[in-house]
Each structure stands twice: as structure tokens, then as C-alpha cells.
Homo-oligomer: A and B are copies of this chain.
Amino acid sequence: MKEKQLLMIPGPTPVPPSVLKSMAAPMINHRGTEYAGLQREILRKLKLVFQTDNEVIIFPASGTGGLESVVTNLLSPGDRVLSLTIGVFGDRFARIAETFGAEVERMAFEWGQPADAGMLEERLSRPDADRIKAVLVTHNETSTGVVNDMEAIAGAVRSHSALLLVDAISGLIAMDLPVDRLGLDAVVAGSQKAFMIPPGLTFAALSPRALEASKTARMPRYYWDFGMMLKSMAKDQTPYTPAVSLLYALDEALRLIEAETMPRSFARHQVLGEMTRRAMEALGMDLFAREGCRSNSVTAVRAPSGLDMKAFRKLLRERYNVVLGGGQQKLESEIFRIGHLGFSGPFDIIGTVAAIEMALAEMGVPAALGQGVQAAQKELMKVGASL
């Protein structure tokens, strides 16, 4: 039965029934009072999930658009930018800055490793560091399953004047990112991740320092212009038509998240991550991310040597209706990825692990059926409360 699919990719993530249902409501006038109330309520709840009192704005766009918005509003052509990249999405953030004329200095770390805050601190203490206008960093690198230590990175940037711009698209809500406490200047998120709604919305939380910088930054922007957006938002509107049905979905999903509470959301993702990691290890597979920086949104698993990754994922998809993510770019034949963020529960993990066991067995990889499941069960049983 097709609809019984386990969609275990790091976004788009499954959407809860009440959120799917919310999108079937009729359109409303986006210049009217009903819309104004909807937008105000959404912004209140968005501040909760960003853990911020900063301005949060919404663009009808994919997350990549959110990244482009913070680059173009906060920087000028020729600005020196330090880019910490640990995978595909860190590279993308850097390329966007380059495209618009920033002078990008890359501090690239081996894939599977997090950014080294000590090296960052050292770099920022060199005499020529005062030229650095912004540091770009990925909170959770979706391509490698690595979460950066944002506390340490924010600490390293704190005594420097650079703005800290964070791609938190696949991390926010799944893992604790206290935006205000860490003093993050721009934090971008996307709807199709732990927000549990379909793709098509991106968000940016902007510190007063970021808003100040946007007033003099000279990269060209119109669609992404913060000034125009904030002016319109002050009247409970948007400068151009908002994505109304996705906002209905957002309102409902944020209601669910507020009811769960953020600490319980982090704890649930932590358990799902542990269950997945222990299960894969029990099946004799290595995790791609180094110990100590493993993401609770997505787990990257090194394929057993000789396993045909394409055939493996195809078997899972076609026979068991379980969809995993593949490796991106140079990791295509090295890893597979299990998404466990958003509307994801322990039995999604157990089913997925069981399917992986069966697929491995069918492809001739020695793996005892039930061994991974058992490891996941043990993790779940450690938890004193229901998820």
C-alpha cells in the first residue's frame, strides 16, 4: 500500500495529518484582517522555536533562498567572508556569497568532521582578521550527518566584529539552538525539515546587529529585501503575495510543536538519533560522522564494502516501501542516509532498521535479522517516558 511508505530522508519529511488537512482551507485576502491575525500568531510561535526575541521573517521560497537572503542583505560586494564548510551545504552557502561578489575565504574540514572552533578562534585573532565581515557556518550538515558545536563556534566569534550567519535549515527544532543566548546574527531555517510542513517556506531570524548591517549592505536584492519585508510586516502584510496554504500548515505545525515543547522535541530527536546509531552499529556498519558530532536529524551510514548502494536503496524502496537518502556528490557510492527529523517516531526507526536488515540479508551481506532492531529497542527502553 503506497501510502504506508516510510519516508526516511532528511526532508521533505512526513507531514502530520492535521497539517495536511489545514492546507485544504480556502484562500483568504492576504491584505485583510484574517490574514493579519494569522501572520501575527505565526510570528509569535516562530520566535519560540528560534528561541529568540529577534525579528523573524518568512519568504515564499526554498531554504536556499533563505541563505541567499542573508548573504545579499548583510554583505557588500568585495566584503571578506570566512566560510566554515563541512559538506555540500556549507559549500553552497559559500558559493552564494561568491556569486554576489563576496571575497570568500574557505575553512574547509574533512567531510564527516565538524568545524574546529579552535582554528576559527586562531584565524580570527590574526592581524588581518579585522577585514572579515561575516562568518558563514552550517548548524547541521545534511550531507554528512554532522552537527557543529554552535556554542563553541559562537564563542570563537563573540569577541570579533564579524556577523555570524547560520544555516540551520535541517537542524532547528530537532537540536537545541538558542539563537539569542548564542548571539547568532542570522539564522536560516526551512519548512520541509523539523517544521513538519511541505517545502516552500524559508525563515530567517535577524539580530539587531544584522538589521543594522542590512541598512548599508550593497549587494543587490529585491525579492529578498529585508527592509521592504519588515516595513510590510509592520502592517501585518508582506510585500508580495505570501504562500497562504503553506502558512496554514505552518500555523498548525507550530501549534503541535508548541504543545510538544521544544525540550521534548530535542529529547525525542536525541532518542531517535541514538536508536538509529546503535542499530546501525549493531549491524556492523560504521557511522560516517565522527563520534561526538553526530546529528539527531540525519544519520549517515558507511555502506558495507562491496554493497551496490543504488540496488540496496532500490530494493528498500520497491520491496519494502522504505525510502532512504543516498550520498551526495563524492559520497554517492559511500554512504546512505536515514532522516529522523520532524514527524518521526520510534517505530519509524524500528521499521526502517528491520527493512535494512532484510535488504542486507537479501543482498548477501551477513547481518542477523533482529540484531539492529534489538539495539534500537534497548535505546528506547532506557527512556523513562513516552516520546
Contacts and interface: CB of A to CB of B under 8 A. Distances in A.
A64 B223 contact: yes
A199 B317 contact: no
Contact of A23 (B12, B23, B222): B23
Given A95-B222, A243-B199, A246-B245, A27 B3 contact: no
Interface string A11-32: 1111100001101111111111
Contact of A65 (B61, B192, B323): B61
Contacts of A239: 64
B28 A241 contact: no
A223 B317 CA distance: 31
The 9 A-B pairs with the shortest beta carbon distances in the complex, nearest first, are A200-B243, A198-B245, A64-B240, A12-B27, A20-B24, A199-B241, A62-B240, A99-B222, A23-B23
Given A96-B222, A99-B222, A223-B61, A245 B23 contact: yes
Interface in A172-201: 190, 192, 198-200
Contact of A241 (B21, B63, B99, B240): B63
30 contacts: A5-B28, A15-B245, A20-B25, A20-B26, A23-B23, A23-B24, A27-B198, A30-B199, A32-B317, A32-B323, A60-B61, A60-B199, A61-B65, A62-B240, A64-B222, A68-B222, A68-B223, A96-B222, A99-B222, A192-B241, A192-B244, A198-B243, A199-B243, A199-B245, A220-B220, A243-B243, A243-B246, A245-B245, A245-B246, A246-B246
Interface in A221-263: 221-223, 239-246, 249
A112 to B, nearest CB: 21
Given A99-B220, A220-B99, A244 B199 contact: yes
Contacts of A249: 245
Copies per complex of this chain: 2
A326 interface: yes
A136 B157 CA distance: 45
A62 B28 contact: no
Q: Which of A30, A32, A61, A221 counts the most B-chain CB atoms under 10 A from its CB?
A: A61
Q: Which of A3, A28, A101, A200 counts the most B-chain CB atoms under 10 A from its CB?
A: A200
A312 interface: no
Classify the secondary structure of A's interface with B.
Answer: loop
B200 A245 contact: yes
A7 interface: yes
Nearest to A243: B200
Nearest to A100: B220
A380 interface: no
A28 B6 CA distance: 10
A361 to B, nearest CB: 24
Contacts of A31: 9, 325-326
Given A20-B24, A23-B20, A101-B220, A241 B60 contact: no
A88 B242 CA distance: 18
Q: Which of A14, A27, A222, A241 counts the most B-chain CB atoms under 10 A from its CB?
A: A27
Contacts of A15: 26-27, 245
A59 B246 CA distance: 15
A24 B3 CA distance: 12
Nearest to A190: B241
Interface string A308-336: 00000000010000010110000000000
A199 B12 CA distance: 19
Contacts of A242: 62, 199
Q: Which of A63, A95, A241, A249 counts the most B-chain CB atoms under 10 A from its CB?
A: A241
